[in-house]
Structures are given as structure tokens and as C-alpha cells.
Structure 1
Amino acid sequence: MTDSKKAVVILSGGLDSTTCMGIAEKAGYELLPLTFDYGQRHRLELENARRVAEHYGVSDRHKVISLGFLKDFGGSALTDENIDVPDMTKEGSNQESIPVTYVPGRNLLFLSIATSYAEAKGAEAIYIGVNALDYSGYPDCRPEFIRKVEEVVALATKVGVEGKPIRIETPLVEWTKADIIREGTRLGVPYQLTTSCYNGKQDACGVCDSCRLRLKGFAEAGLTDPISYAVHS
């Protein structure tokens, strides 16, 4: 495998990151999945990420990094049990404001650590499943954020200085959720092993923003979501 091209895939165990696994595999990369345990409410994703890595035959290369201090910091409904995850069937969606499920600095941290891992392992790319269309309004999912981080990565790494910078691949960034699901289905992505629910129950809640976007995507793609929901409307 020494001559193979490698890609770090930031793998949460959710729909988007798992689709990135499928896309990176199709592109011929040796997959280096990287999962972050930051004390998230939806800890079910960690087990899902392990199962996804097993599905792709890369369990031996799957790394789980502890970032428990993000839970200590708080400031997000995903890390602070005292902040409720919004029920979007009651509250509706407001794209003008950044939701309480935003985790301060999360993707900035993820990409910094993924850069270190990628350079150490000789990987030429990092895949991250950010999306700027069907998303919750997070500032660290925007294309302009990714491009700026990529510039910093080129400046801050040995391989960047030597003219072989690590690329940050965001194949989903301009796709609708339906587009993502159609392509993932075409590639045989195991959506039955994923969850998108912010509440982290065995049956997805069906009412948080992430569940609603996922259900909308499957409906618009004309496909059936293979996971179970407590509420499905």
C-alpha cells in the first residue's frame, strides 16, 4: 500500500460523512477515517462510525480522537445537556440565525487535527462532509471558510511549503440533501448504518433540524430512509 494515494475522511457516522467515505473510495483513495469524540449528545454516531469503517474494511485504520474539552466548554445544545435541541415541528427553521446546535470552533479543530494526521501519514487530501445548501446555518460549513483553512494548511505544513499542499475536499458542499442521497445510493453507501439525529436515541427523533433535513432529502430523492424514527412525518 506504500504507493497508494491516501485520504483522511472526517467520519462522524452521519449521512454526509459516510457519503464522503463512499466518494473517496470511488476516487481510489486508501481511506484513513478519523472520528472525534467531543462529548456530543448524539454519541450513537461514534458506534455508527465504527460500523461504517468496518463496512469499508478499514477498521484497523479508524482512529477516534478524544476532544472532551468541547463538552467542558459547552455553548451548544450538542454538548450541554441544559440546552434543549430544538423541535423543528414546533419552532420552525430560521436561516437568519445560527442555531443552538452550532458547536463553537468544531470544524476548525477537526480540520487542524486532520491536517496533522494527513501530513504524518502522507495523505494528499482531507474529506469533510460540509454542505452550504441543505444545512443548519453553521458558519464553519461555508465554502469561504474551507478555502481559508486550505490556505492556512498550505502555509503551516512542510508539504505545503514544499509545493505539495494537502487538499480539503468538500464534494457535498453545493449539493442538496437529495443530491447527496442519490449519489450515495448509487455508490452503495450504507445509510442503514448511519444516523443524523441530534438527540442521539436509538430511534432517530424525527423532529430535530438534522432529522428533518435528512427525511426531506430522502423524500425528494424518491427513496426510503432505512433507519427508524420515533416521529416520521
Structure 2
Amino acid sequence: MLKNEKAVVVFSGGQDSTTCLFWAKQQFGEVETVTFDYGQRHRLEIKCAQSIAEELGVKNTVLNMSLLNQLAPNALTRSNIEIKQDDGELPSTFVEGRNLLFLSFAAVLAKGAGARHLVTGVCETDFSGYPDCRDSFVKSLNVTLNLAMDYNFVIHTPLMWLDKADTWGMADQMGALDFIRERTLTCYNGVMGDGCGECPSCQLRRRGLEQYLQNQSQEINR
């Protein structure tokens, strides 16, 4: 049924959004991506997203969101802000309003392109406490977008209830594990592939991969 539908993937070129792009290509007849330039420290993220989109044969649109950088200083846009998380507080990598704005602008783009489906890689299982990665937020925004634009959007969150090991497993099932491991950029320090190995994003990614490979090994040895 969805093979006759069009989807727009919110796309950063990282592990989660690239997994969602592979998923969307299996689910929908036509897929395009939207990437947001919000002044992130590592410009390689945008180049990575553009390169992956081109290789997978999907259109990529880069939207200027520099105002978000101005309004919400954070460790992803400011070299003088340390990447850290204090007990009981959000990580310094949290960008206020990011997913709210990204999904809203993606919806405007999607309506203009004749797409009713939005795909995003937010996840409540491994979400570092980010409030705009919660399922309740996505469902609320879905209703708001439909009312605001008088258009029946469906926001898909294929990773919402998966931990990182499950996300690697999903990639493997789609035949995309090596591609995602080698070609994506998740590292807060701007290192491609397996990353720097030290920042919280790399540690989460590595632990998930190790857990998935360990689970696979145990299955084989049974």
C-alpha cells in the first residue's frame, strides 16, 4: 500500500537517520531527504548527508536553520561549550526546539512535494533525556501539523522503541550494516565511521554494535 506513497526523511547522515532512510526506501515508492544547516561545528555532517543521499539515489534538500544556532547555544554549535551531562540535567548537546523545528519545516517541504509521510530517527529508548525525542511529543506534533496545515501527515519513528543494538540489527536485516558503520557520521567530534570512541555518541554507538555482534555470535553458537 505504501509503495504508492511518498516520504520525506529528516536526514543528518548519522547512524539513526541513515537506518531510517534505508527503511523508508523499503516502505515507500518515492523518498527524498531534508538536511538542516543550523551552524553545527562539523560541516562534514552536511557533506556526509549529501553524499549518502546521492549514492542511494534520493533527492536531498539542505535548509538554512542558522536562526536556531543564534537562539539555542549548545555544544554541537559552540566550540567553547564542553560536551557533558551533569546528573539530573540535559546534556550540553541538547539543542532547544530542534526536532520541533526540523519536523515542522520538513512538513512544509513535504506538503509542497506531495508527500504525506515524514520519517525521523528519534528514539525514546536511547534518547539521553532529550524531551523532543519522546513518543508523546511526536504524536502531539503530528496532530498539530495536521491541524495547522489541514493535511494528513503521518510521522513515522521506526527506531522509537529500539536500543542501539536493535538499531544495528535492523540495519543488518536490511543489508546495510557495513554501509552505515563505515559511511555515517555520528561522532560529536566529527570523525566518520566508528568515530573518536570517546564522546557519548560514539560510546553509545559502539556499545550497541558490540552487544549486537555478541548476540549474533551467541545465536550462531547455539
TM-score (norm 1): 0.84
Deviations 1:19-71 (A, max 9, x none): 0001111113311100001011232211111121022112xx21011111222
1:185 aligns with 2:172: yes
By percentage of residues, which structure has more helix?
A: 2
1:215 aligns with 2:206: yes
Mapping of residues 14-53 of structure 1, within 5 Å: 14-53=14-53
1:195 aligns with 2:179: no
More deviation, 186-195/138-147: 186-195
Instruction: Report sequence identity in percent.
Output: 41
1:169 aligns with 2:166: no
Q: Which amino acid aligns with 1:102?
A: F
Deviations 1:192-225 (A, max 9, x none): 21011112145722111111110011001107xx
The alignment partner of 1:222 has SS state of: helix
Offset of 1:97 from its aligned partner?
A: 2.2
* CA distance in 1 between partners of 2:22 and 2:121 (Å): 11
After the TM superposition, list the runs of 4 or more consecutive aligned residues in structure 1 that deviate by more than 3 angstroms.
none
Mapping of residues 96-115 of structure 1, within 5 Å: 96-115=88-107
- Aligned residue in 1 for 2:81: 83
- Count of residue pairs brought into register by the alignment: 208
Q: Report 1 or 2 for greater relative contact order, CA contacts < 8 Å, sequence distance ≥ 6.
A: 1
* CA distance in 1 between partners of 2:192 and 2:19 (Å): 21
* CA distance in 1 between partners of 2:72 and 2:114 (Å): 34
Q: Structure 1: where are the runs of 5+ without partners? A: 160-164, 224-233
- Aligned residue in 2 for 1:150: 142
TM-score (norm 2): 0.88
CA RMSD of aligned residues (A): 1.8
Deviations 1:63-114 (A, max 9, x none): 011111222234211112220123xxxx7x84x4211100011001001101
Pick closer, same or farther for the CA change 1:193–1:54 going to 2, 3 Å.
Answer: same
Q: Structure 2: where are the runs of 5+ without partners? A: 215-222
The alignment partner of 2:34 has SS state of: strand
Q: Which amino acid aligns with 1:146?
A: V
* CA distance in 1 between partners of 2:18 and 2:192 (Å): 18
* CA distance in 2 between partners of 1:108 and 1:180 (Å): 23
